[in-house]
Structure 1
Amino acid sequence: MPKDSVRRFWLVLTASFVMTLAAIYVSLTNGAFDIAVMDVLRTLFRIDPVPDYDLIIFEFRLPRIVIAALVGFGLGVAGAVLQGITRNGLAEPGILGINAGAGTAIVLFMFFFQGQITGSGWLSILAMPIFGMIGGLGAAALIYLFAWRNGRLDPQSLILVGIAIGSGFGALSLYVSLKMNPQDFEMATVWFTGSIWNANWEYILSMLPWLVILVPIIIRKSYILDIFQLGEESATGLGVSTEREKNVMLLCSIGIVSACVSVSGSIGFVGLIAPHIGKRLVGIHHNRVIPVSGTIGMLLVIIADFIAKTVFSPVELPVGIVISIIGVPYFIYLLFKAKV
């Protein structure tokens, strides 16, 4: 790797981290109740802590910021992987139907259990994320079932099947939600549009292992995505077991997306925008694109969540709507660019 490329990569990665830290600082200190930066530091480092500040920072703001960061990072990484596997710049996690599968499972959970399982402990807290993850993995199983062609996973069929399965799950979710009582229907609608308002430390612990285990696997195999850009025949000629590597990378990205969606709802376009920005900044090599896409996704979701909870205060927008306001025009721009 040329020295200039390495220097540029570390410069971009450092700049994105610095901007993320700035966004975290703004989100921690500003809101319906502003807190001075020194009070935040005293609370975080346990120097004469104040119970009111403890409640605001540790129970409301900090878990929300951490969830936003993890979800943004995961969706950015998964989007880069999916675009690399399919060799399609318009691919993103929502297109594969994973979001819709998780959404259907969540809606069924809300319909049958009114959004919670009675009792105490982790089961009652993590029930919704567990249902969401089961739904996302179930959607992935259906995608594999219908996209498998002649003993291999066809990248183009993968997208078409994902769109079809997503539409089917979306229709089922709508049907079930219309049978709900008004309170549960409102909860389901907020979740569908992507929201992290109910973030807590248990949700963070439920998704963190997936990122800790799967992201290093993806980064370690990132060179495979570079080889895939040459075409499957060329990759096979270079000695790459294309089907095995494709399945490993796809399953890793599906696991990450399912974990993210299970705690945040359906947040679209992060997996589309972040990899494109990353490629513009550091080039096309995936060992650089993947970590940069993750940090850019992290920054996007943190900023979008801050906008969602403050701009129209006391009314709060779902973070998915804020990102869609940016994502839809960018998606249209990419479509027009692809036709030129």
Structure 2
Amino acid sequence: MKRKHAFFLLLILLILVAGFSVLYGSYQLSITELFSTLAGNGTKAQEFAIFQIRLPRTLLALLVGCALGVSGGLLQGVSRNPLAEPGMIGINAGAALFVVLWISLQTTQYYSSLSLSTAFFMPFIAILGSLSSVALIYILSYRKGIQPVRFLLTGIAINTAISALITFFQLQMSKGDFNQVLTWTNGSLWGSSWQYILFILPLLVVFIGYALYRSSTLDVLAFGDELATGLGVSVQKERRIYLLLATCLAGVATAVAGNIAFLGLLGPQIARKLCGGKHRNMLINAALISSIILIFSDALARNLFSPIEIPVGIIVSIVGIPYFLYLIFTSSK
């Protein structure tokens, strides 16, 4: 498929899925009512449903999907491994651990009643947690440089350890707090609001913009360390820069959506099949694909068993695990 065709088809699909997410729910809206409300002519109930609940939630899912899609694409480019993604190697888990600890120090309410100062610092706390996790992985896997396979395997081990630590921390909580943290750490957008969008949007614009600006170096790294070094690329330095960008993106996403695994795997992999291996195009399309998956998954999570809401991370995993196994089997041939 031609790159331009793929981009525009994905953009149209994203708009359709976003519209479905805003319309579909326990309070049904028609397309006419949607446009009327957006124009300022809706009822109070329609305005509340759209502007206070569904629209911010859909936009937050869009931003989180973009962040995790680009993060996964960077990790796969740096490691030259199609199975690399932030939820697997402990980046999301590290961010989740720090956010859980931060919120617990401030309040027993998760998202619904957070103070403005607590919410403002959440993305930065999450970035600190994800960077701490990556630093630990980097130190443990460093042997005269970073080898992608060793880094990935170390990350899987650290992810397991941090997940166990989060579970141990949850066991010390009351039943209500335990359930809230369990829902959030499995991936949830239920507490989304405009303030979280305003807090993370500038960070994502900077990180994603810089990743796209430097994406051409990833194309060189894809040829292998020896050839990249021969072309004048400082391989270890570039790996650290891209790893830092991927980590920050995953940390910001985890701060507002919890630990959503496989989204950073699905977007880049599907994007490569649609538009080839050039990283700039792949990262843009990966952001769109991951956003489409997350928005649609969140709509299902809200409405499949309404009024009970299930964590959106579970829906994403239902899609991601079979694809993950497919990649393992095909790459081993």
The TM tier, using the shorter chain, reads over 0.9
Distance 1:145 1:19, change over 3 A: same
| 1:296-315 alignment runs, 5 A limit | 296-315=289-308
> Which position in structure 2 is the counterpart of 1:198?
191
The structure-2 alpha-carbon separation of the partners of 1:68 and 1:117, relative to structure 1 and needing over 3 Å to count, comes to closer
Amino acid at match of 1:140: V
Structure 1 residue 121: Cα displacement: 5.5
Q: Distance in 1 between matches of 2:209 and 2:113?
A: 36
Change (3 A) 1:229 1:60: same
Q: 2 CA distance for matches of 1:127 and 1:216? A: 22
Structure 1 residue runs of 5 or longer lacking an equivalent are none
Instruction: Check conservation: 2:110, 2:180, Cα contact below 8 A.
Output: no
Q: Aligned match of 2:269 in 276, 281, 292? A: 276
| One-letter amino acid of the structure 1 residue matched with residue 24 of structure 2 | N
CA distance in 2, matches of 1:274, 1:117: 27
Root-mean-square deviation (CA, aligned residues, Å) is 2.0
- Tell me the percent identity: 35
SS of aligned partner of 2:317: helix
The farther-off stretch of 105-114 and 238-247 is 105-114
- Is the contact made by 1:85 and 1:246 (CA closer than 8 Å) also made in structure 2? yes
Q: Is the 8 A contact 1:110 1:188 kept in 2?
A: no
Q: Does 1:328 align with 2:321?
A: yes
1:293 aligns with 2:283: no
| Paired residues of 2:263 and 2:316 also in contact (CA < 8 A) | yes
2:100 matches 1:107 = yes
Structure 2 unaligned regions, length at least 5: none
For the pair 1:17 / 2:23, whether they are aligned, the reply is: no
**Amino acid aligned to 1:184:** D
For 2:83 and 2:199, locate their aligned partners in 1 and report how far apart those are by CA, in whole Å.
30
Aligned with 1:208 (options 197, 201, 204): 201
Partner of 1:259: 252
Aligned to 1:229: 222
Task: From 165, 172, 178, give the equivalent of 2:171.
Answer: 178
Change (3 A) 1:119 1:262: closer
**What secondary structure sits across from 1:139 in the alignment?**
helix
SS of 2:88's equivalent in the other structure is helix
Preserved contact between residue 21 and residue 54 of structure 2 (Cα < 8 Å) = yes
- Distance, in Å, in 1 between the alignment partners of 2:82 and 2:309 is 32
The answer to whether the aligner puts 1:83 opposite 2:76 as a matched pair is yes
Q: By how many angstroms is 1:99 displaced?
A: 1.1
**Counterpart contact for 1:117–1:124, Cα < 8 Å:** no
Q: Which amino acid aligns with 1:304?
A: S
2:330 aligned residue: 337
Matched residue pairs, number?
Answer: 332
Give the whole-Å Cα distance in 1 for the aligned partners of 2:108 and 2:195. 20
CA contact (8 A) 2:11 2:288 kept: yes
Tell me, in whole angstroms, the C-alpha distance in 1 between the residues paired with 2:138 and 2:83.
Answer: 20
Q: TM-score, normalised by structure 1?
A: 0.92
Equivalent position amino acid for 1:74 in 2: A
In 2, the alpha carbon distance for the partners of 1:58 and 1:245 equals 42
* Distance change in 2, residues 1:107/1:120 (3 Å): closer
Q: 2:21 maps to which residue? A: 27
Amino acid at match of 2:100: V
